[in-house]
Amino acid sequence: MNKPDEQQAAPVHFMRTERLRAEAAIEPPPAHTGETKKETQVIAIYGKGGIGKSFTLANLSYMMAQQGKKVLLIGCDPKSDTTSLLFGGRACPTIIETSSKKKLAGEPVAIGDVCFKRDGVYAMELGGPEVGRGCGGRGIIHGFELLEKLGFHDWGFDYVLLDFLGDVVCGGFGLPIARDMCQKVIVVASNDLQSLYVANNVCSAVEYFRKLGGNVGVAGMVINKDDGTGEAQAFAQAAGIPVLSAIPANEDIRRKSASYEIIGRPEGQWGPLFGALAQNVADAPPVRPTPLSQEDLLGLFSADTVGRDVVLEPATTADMMGRDIVAKPSLEVIYDEA
């Protein structure tokens, strides 16, 4: 017989499972179709986790602001680290966390609770649920729903930069592409297979939704930690997208970034690099990419790097059981046809 605690736990587990299923089944609201108050470029930046999106965006947004542009940076990564470099390592209260606290207190969320600024850059973090306590993609959708309530479509920015994790394929992270919430996408990658695999997936998503009538295109690629080996450059050429900037693998950049120091300053050593990137991001038109097949993607690398010469050897039942198998006659009774 089941113990009383086990009997009580079963309904609780069932209710939690049903609640999560119901949450995942909720469709996001349709894309905003009202009158545009100001011509704003909304740009979604995708890339593999740890490839340097936050570093790139913090310095890019800072440079844009120094060039006289009004910029809003929105972190859409559950790690909530997009704005950390911009704010010198300080954690920015997330929209999801703040919304939950305000709801419990019976108070509305105000702009000043979730949006902060530094030297002309406005920034906020959507955040995400704790591990095992919700869907990250649904958190993204909830965050954008709250932004709409705060008047997102009436805000007057020149650029809105969205930082999305590229190696997650659930619907929430693909929202800007699927629902035409941005005009163009930029991918951040390096000369390694995993980051280019993610970049290729993003290109595939863009092309998929273009075939369904979408309008989002890829504006180009930023190569971060470029060591000169050329794989990312070759990928961009094969996919039909431009390289907007190649940020070198440089010890000075690594050290300053690790110390939460902004290097995208007009007067600094790296000012011209980020100044050119800002201009390229502004001017690059969205194009339809040509995603690569897995074999073509592997073909960008030497065989000894990715193992293209490896032969797939089928396993046997004996391999799985760890001993030789003796064939036994079947006990199935077979009747002759009448």
Tokens of residue 232, six digits: 């990312």
Q: Does the active-site annotation cover 103?
A: no
Neighbouring CB atoms inside 10 A of 217's CB total 20
Give which of 38, 99, 112, 50 is closest to 79, Cα–Cα. Answer: 50
> What is the C-alpha separation between 250 and 163, in angstroms, rounded?
23
Q: Does the active-site annotation cover 167?
A: yes
Selected catalytic residue, list 69, 70, 79, 117: 79
Tokens of residue 176, six digits: 């800007």
Q: Does the active-site annotation cover 79?
A: yes
- For residues 194, 78, 270, 265, the Cα torsion angle rounded to the nearest 10 degrees is 170
Q: Is residue 53 within 8 Å of 47, Cβ to Cβ?
A: yes
Q: Is residue 289 within 8 Å of 218, Cβ to Cβ?
A: yes
Neighbouring CB atoms inside 10 A of 87's CB total 16
Selected catalytic residue, list 69, 70, 102, 167: 167
> What is the C-alpha separation between 248 and 274, in angstroms, rounded?
12
Neighbouring CB atoms inside 10 A of 79's CB total 14
Q: Is residue 206 within 8 Å of 217, Cβ to Cβ?
A: yes
Q: Does the active-site annotation cover 48?
A: yes
> What is the C-alpha separation between 190 and 233, in angstroms, rounded?
9
Selected catalytic residue, list 48, 184, 225, 256: 48
Give which of 236, 126, 140 is closest to 186, Cα–Cα. Answer: 236
> What is the C-alpha separation between 79 and 69, in angstroms, rounded?
27
**Residue 72: strand, helix, or coil:** strand
> What is the C-alpha separation between 300 and 234, in angstroms, rounded?
7
The residues annotated with a catalytic role in the active site are: 48, 53, 79, 167
